[in-house]
Structure 1
Amino acid sequence: MFIASLNYIQPLDKIEQYLEAHRAFLDKYYQRGVFLMSGRKEPRTGGIILIHAADLDEVNRIIAEDPFNREKVAEYTITEFLPSKTAVGLEKYLQI
């Protein structure tokens, strides 16, 4: 499991130019069951994506497709974690 933390490095008006394409990118990976949750940070300085992927290489390949990455309007910090406890209904994501 991975957390992608996006930090905007361009003004919000520049981010807005790529928001529709970014949302289409998100939808693609939600449909594949790779993205589990996402949303913007508050205050609006970036966003978070919770990713269910096999390894860091897969995450990096996916992030390379993000229009925010391609257009260099956001930077990404990727954190891997191994879920050892979950809420009811999320047990399939345990990695103990």
Structure 2
Amino acid sequence: MFIVTVTYTAPLDEVDPWRPAHGNWLSDLISRGLLLVAGRRVPLVGGVYLAPRMPVDELDRLLATDPYVVHGVATHSVVEFTPLLVADGLEGLTSHG
């Protein structure tokens, strides 16, 4: 599983024009099960995604299609982790779930 942090590399007025395309991109990935959660960081300096287990190169290819990245207004940082303890109902997220 992966935690992806998004950091804006441009002022918000340069990020905002790409927000609708970025939102559509996120919605598509979530509907396909390629992202589990997506949200804004507080303060608004970027975002955070939770991505399921997949080959790292597949995640890299997906993230490269983010309109924010394509248009040079954000970067991604990826941390891979293995969930071991989860809340009730989320057992499918563990490596043995």
TM, length-normalised to structure 1: 0.95
Aligned length: 96
* 1:2–1:50 contact (8 Å) kept in structure 2: yes
Structure 1 residue 54: deviation in Å? 1.1
Instruction: Give the CA RMSD over aligned residues.
Output: 0.9
Instruction: Identify the residue that residue 67 of structure 2 maps to in structure 1.
Output: 67
Q: In structure 2, list runs of 5 or more residues that go unmatched.
A: none
| Paired residue type of 2:36 | L
Structure 1 residue 53: deviation in Å? 3.5
Moved over 4 A (4+): none
Once residues 48 and 78 of structure 1 are traced to their aligned partners in structure 2, the CA distance between those partners, rounded to angstroms, is 10
| Paired residue type of 2:27 | D
* 1:35–1:49 contact (8 Å) kept in structure 2: yes
| Paired residue type of 1:89 | G
SS in 2 for 1:14: helix
Once residues 3 and 58 of structure 2 are traced to their aligned partners in structure 1, the CA distance between those partners, rounded to angstroms, is 13
Structure 1 residue 33: deviation in Å? 1.1
Instruction: Identify the residue that residue 42 of structure 2 maps to in structure 1.
Output: 42
Once residues 90 and 49 of structure 1 are traced to their aligned partners in structure 2, the CA distance between those partners, rounded to angstroms, is 17
Q: In structure 1, list runs of 5 or more residues that go unmatched.
A: none
Taking only the aligned residue pairs, the percentage that are identical comes to: 35
Structure 1 residue 68: deviation in Å? 0.5
* 1:53–1:59 contact (8 Å) kept in structure 2: no
Instruction: Identify the residue that residue 28 of structure 2 maps to in structure 1.
Output: 28
